[in-house]
Every structure is written in C-alpha cells, then in structure tokens.
Structure 1
Amino acid sequence: MRERDEMIGRKLSNRYQIEERLGGGGMAVVWRAFDTVLGRNVAVKLLRQEMAEDEEFVARFRREAQAAARLSHPNIVAIYDVGEDYGLYYIVMELVEGMTLRQKLKQAGRLPVAQALDIAAQVASGLHEAHARGIIHRDIKPQNILITETGLVKVTDFGIARAVGGVSTTGDLVVGSLPYMSPEQVSNGEVSAATDIYSLGVVLFEMLVGRPPFQAESTVGMAMRHLEGEVPSIRQFRPDVPPAVEALVMKCLAKKPVDRFSSAKDLLRAIKMSFPVQAGTGEQMKPDGLQIEEAPLEGDEDLARKRRRPKRRMSLAVKIFLAAMVLFLGLVAAGIYAFNKWMEVPLVEVPNVEGKPFLEAQAILMEKGLVPVMAAERYDPQVPRGCVINQAPEAGDTVKQGREVRLVVSKGREMVKVPDLIGKDVREASVMLEESNLVLGNSVYVFHPAIPAGKVVSQNPKADIEVPKGTTVDIEVSKGPMPTTAIVPNVVGMTRDQAKDELEKALLTPKFLLLPGEQPAGTVMSQSHVPGTEVPVGTEIIVAVSLGTGPAPNVRTIPISVPKLDKDTVRVKVVLKDAQGERTVLEQDRKPGEQFELRVEWVGAEAQLNIYFDEKLVNTSTLRPETPSSEGR
C-alpha cells in the first residue's frame, strides 16, 4: 500500500504519469501510466528498488528492453522506451487491455480445442519472428501470454531473453519457470529455439487438459519429471481431442530438441493443419487468416459423377500455349498490381536520429511509418554508448513509408583491461602497455623494502580493471631498500639552491643560516659536517650562506590565514625570491581555517613572496625594507 501511495501520480522523467498498479513479480512491478508527450496510455515496468542496487539485475533489466525493442510483430508486446529516473529503472511498453492466459485458465479450467490451437498458433507466430532475429524467450508460460478483448494474443516479458547465434549455453544461470522448462534447461541451462517450442507444448497441454503434463511436490521432483518422466496421454483426460492434435503436442514435448519441430514456423504450419473438423459441415474450425486446404465433401454425387466422366484429351502444343498465356497474363497482372500499390504508398521525409538513443530513434522513425533496423554496432569515442552514429538514408531524404532505415549504433569508447605491471622492469611494462593499447605515463622512483631496484612497485590505474583505449598508466619504480646511512657531500662554494639539491639527493636535511661574509651573496661558506663523513639518513646539515659585504638581511613577519575547506589538511607552501635567488621558506600541512605568522628574511632592495594552498597560487606580495606593508599584485 505504501508503494502504491508513493507511485500514484508520480511522473517519470517528466513524461510518464503513473496511474494504477497492474501487477508485479519478484523482479519488477507493472503500472498503468499516461504518456504526456504522445497522449496515450502505456504500461511501465519498474524495477523493484531492492533490485536496482544489484548490478546484475539492472543489466538483465536493460537486456529485456534491448532484446524486445528489436522485435516488431502483432503477437509481441511492443517496447516504446527505457530509462532511469532518480535511481528508478523502467521500461515503457504497449498497454494490452485484456487478461493473461493464466487468468483465462483459472476462469475456464480448460479451453475448447479450436481456441487452444488458435492461441498456440499466435504465440508460435510471435516466436517465429523472435527466433528469426536470434532471440530466445526462455520463459514461455501462461502468465507471459496476454489475450486482448478481440482475441489477439501477445507474448510479453522478454526479461530473460538473450540475443544468440543459434544455441546459447549459460552454465552459470538457469532461467525460466520450472513447470514449463525444457529438459536441456533443467540439466545444463542450454537453450535454443527448441526450448521455446517445448515450453509452448507444455502451455498447449495445459490449455487442453486444465493442468501441465508434469506435477511434483518439490522442485527436484519437477525437474526429474521433465528429464525422465513420460508425458501422459491427452486423450486419456480428454477423449474429444483429435489424435493429430495430441501427436502435435507430444512432438513439442520430446525430450531431445532434435525430435521436436525444427522451428516455430514448422510448428505453426502443423497447428494450422490440426484444427478439428466441424461436425455436419466438413470444414475446419479455424480462426480467420489460417489458410488450410479444404477437401471435397463425402457423398457429393455430382462431383463423383464428374470425376468418373471421361475427359477429352488436349494436345501437348495447346497445353503449352495456354500455360504460357496464363503465366504471361498472371505476371502482367501481378506487375500492374504491385506497381499501383507501390505508387499508393505516401512519401515521408527521413528524420534526423543521429546522436539519439537507439530506442528513441526507433520511436521517431516508427512514428513516421519507417522501419528502423540496427545494421551494425561499433566503438566510437565521441558518441555515447547506445546512441546512433549514422543512418541510411540520411536525414532530409524523401522516401516511401515502410522503407528500412539502417542505423549504426555506438558501443561507446572501446574498453581494454589494464595489465599487471607489478614486479616488471620499466621497459617490459612499457611494452605490455603498448600491446594493450595503453600509454605509459609518469615514472616516479621510490624506495621499497622488498621489490628490487628497477622493478615496478605500484600502478595507477590498477591491474585488471577496464579503462578506455589510450588511457595513461602512471607507475612507481623501486630504487631498492631505503639506506640507513649517507655520505655527506661537499657543498662549500655552491649556491644555496645547488647545495639544497645535493644534500637532499644524499638523503640529508639541509638547514641554512644567512651570515655576512666576503664571498658573493648566496654562496655556501661552510657546512656543519665534514665532507665524506658517514651519517644516518636524514641527518640535519647546517649550511652557512654568505650575505655578501652588504647590509644585514631584512626581516618581516607575515600573517597567513588558511582557507576553510571541507578536508582534513591544507598544504601550505611559501616561496621567496630575492637577490640570492628563489627558495621555499615553508612547506607543511595546516588545518583549514588556521591562522599563523611566518618570519621571513630576505636580501636586497625588495623580494617577492608567493603563497600557495594545495599547489594553487593564491597570493603574491612584494616586500621592501622601507615600507612595513606589502604590495599585492
């Protein structure tokens, strides 16, 4: 009740107004809705919320639309649209007014032979169209067969249909409804067109007898009946069923697929020829549209007398002449008829559907009276997956209604799997990436306690995930284990920046003191540790840098306010550029919103101070000795 209250009146994707709950299963709920754009009633199948969080169910739900949308047949429920609205996945379908075959069987118990054959024939016709397009329904049962008020039968719920080329084996998942599943489905999940024929045979048996052929108290028992059980005789329960009809059902229910009808088309032909003869008339009780050759009535004495009367023989030449004339006149008549019919078809302008989702393109073309056909699928980095790349005929062309419009649909960017580079050397990693159509990005060298020097330590993106073709993969390469000691280099005579680089390369920590001296400003005068000395890694080396013979350095205290950001820390970096060159005077993590002061020393008439937050320059100031304020620019 709560679900109904929440959904009634809701408008999905600002288009489909939910009006009434029609029914539901374990996977989805079906609602009656109104399409506010096209002004028509539709059925909306809505994936249950608990299923929407399962990627496998969502993928199966999408496959239903993709499979069924390819089908256009009077005996198959049409798919109009598929979409998602704030986490609700839905399919928009043709609304069929009527009842399910299950509801009809509950009312009637069993059906007249002619009516049962009529329903089976229409289902077989729909299955023939689906099988011709490589789609197996997999779940033919009374609940999935809809009957309109006029008697038109439509097959629905291709939720477990899958496009196949011939026979498809899905060993990981057996889908279907157990009382109607074929032996091969029960045993190993193998399906083909013969699978649907078996299920339709079970449905036809139930329509004639009032119950399915097999009954059991457990699922295991039911499965074993399908695999090994003998199909009971229909005439044992219902003697009025013609033997030809019983033989037809038995052929559908053969244990081996090869022993059943070879196709739904063959089954349809057999059903048409099996309609019972109406007593007193000698005519078959068949629905409109089923063409069955009719035999002459027994006891027709005039017809028998005519057949016994000797016939005058016609010469061979006359026969050939008359046959040729009949053939010629027939071809001329057929040509004139076909030409006139072709000329009567109205012209339409082909709409532009390039860039649109395939299902939307289908709807647009069908509204124009055109026939959309998915000609091919291919990868395209520019066109989103499932959208039309190009069409033929092109948009703007004038064609006759009923013309096929061939669409090439995008499969999106081509995805490739990232290879595992851990433990490989850089050259080998580069070759592996190239073979996978990926690009080697940055290579950062780091110490690692276990992985030998020159081997890959880590990678980004990680191995075995799928990424678009051409993606850059960054790696970290081992420099071997971190050493415990370092040799102090000689930095005397170097500039401040050169000394800093040399000491950090040696895994030592430089600390600079600015002192007056005779050497040029910025030159290292002395160092705290004797060059060549072995010290622990990270040891602080004090370095005296000359200020030259000029005045003492200028000093300024700079207030810094860290911005209030939604994160734990902010990286603060302050860079000073003066007469001695450019150097970093502060680089550390600070808390968002923190305020602190920084004492800065510089040499020369002025200095430039740059402040960075998370590597982004936010302030540049000019420091001068003659004024206490800073000039921002």
Structure 2
Amino acid sequence: MDTTTADPLVGRLLDGRYRIESRIARGGMATVYLALDIRLDRTVALKVMHRSLAEDPAFVRRFIGEAKSVASLSHPNVVHVFDQGTDNDIVYLSMEYVPGKTLRDILRDRGRLPAREALEIMIPVLAALGAAHQAGMVHRDVKPENVLMTDDGRVKVVDFGLARAIEATNQTRTGVMIGTIGYMSPEQVTTGGADVRSDVYAAGIMLFELVTGQQPYDGETPMSVAYRHVHDTVPRPSSVVPEVPPLIDTLVAHATAREPHDRPADATAMLVAAVDAHRMLPRMTNPPASHSQPHVMTASAAPSMPRPAPAHTMVQPRVEVPARRGFRPNWFLVTLAAVMVVAVALTGWYFAQPELVSVPRLVGKNLALAEKNAAAAGFVVKTAAGQNDEKVAEGLVLSTDPAEETQVEKGATITLVPSLGPKRVVVPDTTGMTGNDARATIAKAGLTVGAVKRLANLQVERDKVIRTSPQNGEKVKEGAKVDIFVSAGLVMPDVAGMPKDEAAAYLGGQGFQVQVNEVDDDAEPCTVIAQAPKAKSEVDKGAPAMITVARCQTDFLDWFRGGDNQAGDDQQFSLVPQVIGKDVRDAQRELQALGFRVRVQRLGNGGVVQYQRPLPNSERPAGSTVYLWH
C-alpha cells in the first residue's frame, strides 16, 4: 500500500464528509485513497479522477450518470459504489473498501495458475459481469487490474462504467488504449463500439493469461497488438503451456472468437460453460500428459447412479441330453435371465424418473433479473403479492416458493415474493383537533400515541392540537410513538414578589387584561403579594388577571429600616448588580458570590433573566434575598 504523506489530499476532509487517511494506489486515470466517511463512521475507498479528466465537462456529466447506474448494481462480486461527488476541482467516487490485492499483483507474485484455480477466479468474475449485462451495463475494461482478491478469498470486480465515462472526454484514443489494448476485442479496436460480447472477449483473454502467465499477443507498439487482435486468431493456451487441459482451450477459443456472434451471448452464458468445465476437470493440479479429451457429460446426463447395461438376446446351441438322465437345469442361464429381467426393470424405472434440479438462489436479487434468470433456467415463474420487510429493499426478491436450493422437477413453477421495503406510515395531520380526536386519528393510522404535552400558545385555541412529534407528513415505522402537543392557551405566570409595574407590563404583554389592587401590607412596597388566577392556571386569551400589591406610598426607607431587616448602623450593605439579560445560572452564581440569597421563578421557557428585584444598583444588607424571573 502506497502511504505517501507528501500527497496534498492526505489529511484533507473532502466534500465535508470524507477524511482522507492515506494513498492506496495511483493509476493512469485516477488515484485511490483510503478514507473515513465521518457521517456514517465507515472506511471507504475514494477514487479521485486526475485533474485532466475532472476539468472536462463531458467526462464529469458522463461520470455522474455512470456512477448512478453502477450504484444500483448490487452483487456480491461487484465493488459497491456508495456515492459520487465533486469538491471544487476534485471529482471522486466513494466505494466499498476491499483490502487485498489485484489479480495483476497475484500474477506477478505467482505466475501462471493451475486450470481449476484459474476457473475458480473467473467464475465469480463472470458472475459479476453477468449481473451487469443482465442490468444492461457493459464494463468495457475487463482486465486483472480491475479484479480485487480479498485476503479471505473473495473476488470483486471494480471500475464498471469508468471506461464509458472516459469515452466522452477529449482524451486521445491512444491515451485510452495503452493500458488495456491487450484485452480489447476486434470491434473495439476497429469501431470503438463495445457490447456485452466485448466483455466476454476480454474475459477469454484474461483466462488465457491466468493459465499461461502471459497475454496472447505482444508487440513493440500498442497498435501492433491491436492489429493482431483484429487479424489473428487467439492461440490455444496449451500451445504455450502443454499442461493446460483441452477444456480450457475450448473455453478460450469460444470466448475470443473474432466475430462477436460466434462468442457466448453474454457473461452469464460464458459462466455456464466455465462452471461446466470446472466440474469436469480432474481434481489433480495438472491434467494427464497425453492431453486426451476427457469424457464430457452433458447437463441432461443421468445422476451419479450407473445406468444398467443394455439387455442382449443370447442364442445358445441345442444340447442333446440322454433320456436316462432326468432334467438338469442350466443354472448359469437361469441366473443370467434373472439378472436381465431385473436390469430391464431398473432401466425402465430409471428413465421414468423426472429430472430434478435445484431452485436457484434468487433471494435478494432484483425482481426483474430474478424472473429472467429463473425463466432461462427452465422454470415457470409466477410473482406473488409483495410484502413489507425492514431489511430487504423494495424491488428485491424476499422469498421463493419452493425455497431456494430445494430439489424440484425440471420445469416446475417458482413463485417469487417481492419485497415492498420497510413499511412506513405517514403521520396524519391532527393540527387543530381536540386531544381525543387526535389520539383516534393517530391510532387509526397504525401508530401509537406517546406523551401528550400542554404548551402555552396564543395562536391555537386552548385544548386543540398545536403539532405532533414526529411532525405530520413524516414517514415512520408502523406502530411508532407520536407525541401530541396541545395548546394550553394562556398560562398564568408566577409573578409573586415582582415589582408592580413590571408585573403589570409582563401580564399585559402575555394577553391578560390586568387589574392592580393595592393594599396595606408588611411586604416590600409596590411588589406583588397575590395574583388571580393562580400561577400555572390555564385561561383563554384576553382573560382578566388581578394582581394585589403592597401599597406603594409607604416610605421605602421607613419600611426598610423597620420590620424584619432591622438594619443597624453597623449593618454592612452590598450593591445589587445588574443581571437582567444574563443566563439565569450565571446570574445566580454571581449574586451568591456577593452573599445574597437567590430565588428563581419561571415565567416562560427561556433561560435568560427578564426581571430582578431589588432593582439593579440598589443597596441591600448581606444575606438579603434577590428575586430573579426568567
């Protein structure tokens, strides 16, 4: 792994989401980095296009379109594309990170591979290409560099669609062909066009290279190699390495036919041939030295039970037996006849048995692709009504009937059950309803009523719903809890102890019709000593509110020096600081540090001091109580 720290992108947060950790590899068209997706907290591989491509608008448009197509391709042997994007002059793909080596690295390290091992690599490659072909996509750049091998033996194909995006650029064709000319089909060289059979051709060249350790053509220039692809027939791998079995020769010859119509129809067709070849190859590393063609069993051949030998009519010469010796049976003939009878019976029974096949693995695949694959395998396909599922995405096969891998008669009917995806319920709009009506509406929608909370609100009539959480219109899981917030109308705040003018102004601002009643009282003059309605009472907008205050005409100094304060000449005074507008907790700490007691009363939902008593810059003895309202 290349961890060059001089790379300017290493350490950068790309697009506000991907933190680039190190550089993995650098190629002719892009550089691959190891990155952390900080939004989803997962490791990804970022493929960053080289600046010459990123500056080409045609490439960027095609690149984005191809990335969206590839992201929809879900297959275990395809490197999954998560995201694509741009960050100023940087164009990138976010992909599944696959630790391991490329097939090119393995060929460099080991050289040619045994035939069985080569097929065991090609089979998942062809499965990935086949899935792409079924989805209408062409890779266009099949080569060992684009095949990843994980440490635990998994095979992944990468870079679907990238070659097609590059075709839209202003790059010269020579620049595009240099790295991949060894795998390009004749039609790609002559016309630049490519279809699924071009991928098949490249796969055949790659199989040739796996079993021989070299490409079929070499030359001093790319064009000389291209010329040979167009005009020569790809040689048999066994002409290079005699140990290569004839089955591999046949597979390579079919895949690399110069005329596209002479090749397998797509990668899935080549996959079937590769699996068949792998099944027929002996398990020894190398085939017999004679290279004789092994016996080929067709797909319709009988199971492993040997078929009985055909019955033959046997003619025996007449034997003369002397009359005086009684009848003596020929036990050999009797035994042979019995065997023949049994053999004929077994033969009839055997050929009368229906051919059994396994239901293919279709769960998790795209429904249309699964229907096509099952029909191609000879099954009659039916589609049942869809079902919701929290784990299987919409449009994929949820289950099959019979279940996958069940043995059934060839031509049997398979019923596919598609997934409708996770079931989601839209939160209904209950705004303006009564609490009971809102409960019934939410329950009817398949949801559960959570907490019912009352909030002061002047805009919504008391006892009517203000909103819900989650809000109406949101899609949530069936049975999810929905909290209801009901208007409490006006809520009488606690203004006890507040100066008269501040209390009257605040209540008036909240929508109350305020009346003030002054009475003689020992409390601090001009402060509220009672209120009606009581604090926290719910009332309608415009309701009357009466506050009773201690009479204001009393000389404050006389009051202060009398009563409970008993301020003597030696009493120490402190200046009450201005704390209006401060956070109530900060204000409380500040006052307590000066020796004051603090009483906090809530008016609304804010945490900022709105009123205080005594007023700022008043002198009070140490230990006096300061009232704060927030």
Normalized against structure 1, the TM-score is what?
0.46
Higher strand proportion (structure 1 or 2)? 1
Normalized against structure 2, the TM-score is what?
0.46
Structure 1 or 2, whichever has the larger Rg, is 2
